[in-house]
Amino acid sequence: MAVRRPPYLLRLKVVNFRSLRDVEVHLRALNVLVGPNGAGKSNFLDVIAFLGDATRDDLAPALDRRAGFDRVVFRAAKGSRQTISIEVEAAVTKNSSLKATDTYTLEFSSDKLKSGRSERERYYLRRAESFAFKRTAGPGRRITVKGGLITFHKPEGGEDTASLREGSLGLSTLPKLSPEDGGEQVEALANLFAGFRVFDVDVAAARRPSQERASERLHNDASNLAAFLAFLAERHADRFDALQRDARAFIPGLDRLEFTAIGGAGEGTVLTLVERGLSGATTLQEASYGSIRALALLALLYDPSPPRLTCIEEIDHGLHPHILDRLVELLREASSRTQFLIATHSPALVNRLTPDELIVCERGDDAASRIPAIDPEAVKAMEQELNGELGLGELWFSGALGGCPE
C-alpha cells in the first residue's frame, strides 16, 4: 500500500486581510468551510488565490486586481500604518515532512509619499518576506527579503547578501536563484500558489462542443468538458470506466457516455449521454443543469494530474443529496492527489464529514472573521458524546457549533 503523503498546505495565519483580522487555520487534505454569508469563507480562500496572483504578476498587480491596498486591508483597523501579514507553513520541497516544514511569511503595508514639488500624495508598498526550509537531518535554509536586499542566513552563522529589484516579490523572483542558493526550494513553494485552481463550473460553456478533440487539462470552468473526458477515455481507460460508473449513480437513467469528432479533421468533440429506454442520445445542450455539474465534478475528481491545491465553492449546488455519500468518498480519494478547500451551505454534506475535515466560520461583533469558530477537538468530543444521535450537519445547523446566521 502506498504511503499517503502529508497535505501540501499545513497552516495559514493571516492578519488584516479583508475580514481576516487575526486567524490561524491548520489544514488537512480535505477541508470544508461552513458558515453564513459574510463569515469570511471566500476571503480565506482568496488569500491563497492572492498569493498565486502575486507569484505570477507581483504584489502591486495582485492588489490592483482587488481594487488596491485600502480595499484589501481590514477596514475596521484604525490608527497608524496597518500591515497585512500572511504566514504559510507547507510541505512542498523535496525533503520536507510534517517534522521538517517549509515556512513563508509576507508582510506589506502602504505608505503615503509626497512627490517632489507636488502636494499630491502617492502611495508605495513596504514589503518584507522570509523563507525557512527546515530539515530533520542536516542544516536548513533561511532567506529574508526586505526592500531591495536579499539576505542568505548561513546555518553555521554569518550572512551573504544580494540585491533585488526594488518592488519585486521574492516569491516570484527567487526561483531564478541557483539550487545552491535555494532557487529550487523557493520555486516549489511558489508553484504551490501559482497552480492553485479555483474550480467554478460554467454550465453554459460546458454544454458547448469542445474545440479540441482531446485535452489533458480540465479548464477551471469546465468549458472543455467533452475534450477532457475524451482524453480520459483514450489515455486513462480505467479512470474513465470508474468515472462512468459513478456518473450512472449521479445521473439517473444514464447508460454510457459517447464522443463524436467534429470539424472534418476531428478538430472538436461532442459529448452525448446515452440513456436507458430512450432512442438516440441526449446532447449536453439538452442535459439538465445538475447533470452537467455532476459530470464536471467527476471529471475534476478523476483528473490524474491535478494541481496541488483545489478550491470549490458551493460544491453541492445542483446535486441531489442522495449522491453526497459517494461525493465525499471521491473527495477523500482525490485528496491524495490535490488538497481540497471547499465551501458549502449544505448540512446534508456536512453530515458525511469527520470533525477534522470541518472548518466552522463566523463573523464577530467587531466585523472580524473567526476561523475556526470552534476547535475541531471540541467538535469531536461533542460528536462522541451524542453517540451518533445527530450528525455534524445537524449539529452545525442547530447552532451548537457556531457559524449560523442569527
pLDDT tier for residue 138 given thresholds of 50, 70 and 90? low
Q: What is the pLDDT of residues 353-401, one digit of tens each?
A: 999 999 999 999 889 999 999 998 999 999 888 877 888 999 998 888 9
> Percent of the chain, pLDDT > 70?
92
Cell of 167: 518592488
Pairing, β 268-275 against β 358-360 = unpaired
Output the pLDDT for position 266.
62
Q: Does 88 have pLDDT greater than 50?
A: yes
Q: Does 336 have pLDDT greater than 90?
A: yes
Residue of 271, 311, 287 whose CA lies nearest to 203:
287
Q: Does 36 have pLDDT greater than 60?
A: yes
Q: What is the pLDDT of residues 214-266, one digit of tens each?
A: 999 999 999 999 999 999 999 999 999 999 999 999 999 999 999 998 876 66
User: Taking all residues of the chain, what is their mean pLDDT, rounded to a whole number?
Assistant: 90
Q: 176: how many CB neighbours lie within 10 A of its CB?
A: 10
Q: Does 113 have pLDDT greater than 50?
A: yes
Residue of 381, 389, 298, 404 whose CA lies nearest to 351:
389
Output the pLDDT for position 1.
37
Angstrom distance (rounded) from CA 307 to CA 337: 8
Least confident stretch, 32-36, 46-50, 113-117, 381-385: 113-117
Q: 334: how many CB neighbours lie within 10 A of its CB?
A: 19
Indicate yes or no: pTM above 0.85. yes
Least confident stretch, 16-25, 81-90, 261-270: 261-270
Q: Does 119 have pLDDT greater than 80?
A: no
Output the pLDDT for position 139.
73
Mean pLDDT value across residues 46-64: 94
Mean pLDDT value across residues 311-315: 91
Output the pLDDT for position 3.
46
Mean pLDDT value across residues 131-146: 85
Q: What is the pLDDT of residues 274-297, one digit of tens each?
A: 999 888 899 999 999 999 999 999
pLDDT tier for residue 298 given thresholds of 50, 70 and 90? very high
Question: Do residues 258 and 271 make contact, with C-beta atoms less than 8 angstroms apart?
Answer: yes
Q: 3, exposed or middle or buried, with CB in 10 Å at 0-12, 13-18, 19+?
A: exposed
Listed by start position, the domains of the chain span 9-27+55-197, 199-306
**Which segment, 42-56, 125-139, 169-183, is predicted with the most confidence on average?**
42-56
Output 111 or 5, whichever has higher pLDDT. 111
Angstrom distance (rounded) from CA 138 to CA 153: 15
> Percent of the chain, pLDDT > 90?
71
Output the pLDDT for position 223.
96
pLDDT tier for residue 41 given thresholds of 50, 70 and 90? very high
